Amino acid sequence: MISSPFPQVPSILRVFVFLEVLSKRLNFFSKKEENNFEKYFNWGLKFLEVFEEFEKEGKIPENLLYPPEGFPELAKKLFEELKTTYLEFSSLIEEKGFSYYSYRLKKVRDVLKEKKVFNDNIFNEIDEIWFIGFAALRKVEVEILKYFKEKFKSYFIFEAYEPIPSIIRDTLKVLELDYKWISPDYYEKKEIKDPQIYFYETTDPHLEIKSAFRAYS
């Protein structure tokens, strides 16, 4: 997982894996419901968001014995079997060699819990680690940073002014960090640079959907 991570795929493609699980479990792709594919597709995207929130907190969603009132029967069935559906979805994601941000967080956390991982040569070459450019943390992120904090000489850099924002105070507390202010000499060097323009390529969701349909048709 660490040496050769699975490629990250966007939710617009992962949803087909989710729908594949539902098709096997609930057999909802019957002929009379083929025209409802768009509805199932949108439901799938929402459930993926739910899964990601649980993964960021290091939890597995539980089945809901009493789903919200007023939901369609299929939606109620999904909530009643949420845990099983999630576990099968995760298994199928791994089987297909896919990954995504919260999935990687969870896997890294799990790998770091294995003591033998710190016997790896790559860790033997690390003298210190600097963590920069973050503020609020989810539970899994906290666990990962704590592992490195305990194993290596670590520095955590935050950008803040007095009074320290509550979001940073909470992060300092949860990571059990003392702090001190950095001298302005490090960040107030007045250097004027010429303006620059950067162009980046981006994906086209419409083409991604068409490609995904072709792949699964």
31 confidence band (pLDDT: 50, 70, 90): very low
Whether the pLDDT of residue 179 is over 70: the answer is yes
pTM: 0.67
- Copy the structure tokens of residue 191: 């250097």
1 confidence band (pLDDT: 50, 70, 90): very low
3-state secondary structure of 8: strand
- Copy the structure tokens of residue 31: 């002929």
Distances (CA, A) of 194 to 25, 187, 191, 199, 201: 59, 19, 10, 17, 23
- Give the tens place of pLDDT for each residue, 92-137: 998 888 888 888 888 888 888 776 666 666 677 788 899 998 888 9
Backbone angles phi, psi at 194, to 5 degrees: -70, 145
Instruction: Identify the burial level of 130 via C-beta atoms within 10 angstroms of its C-beta, where 0-12 means exposed, 13-18 middle and 19 or more buried.
Output: exposed
Distances (CA, A) of 138 to 88, 102, 143, 194: 24, 10, 9, 38
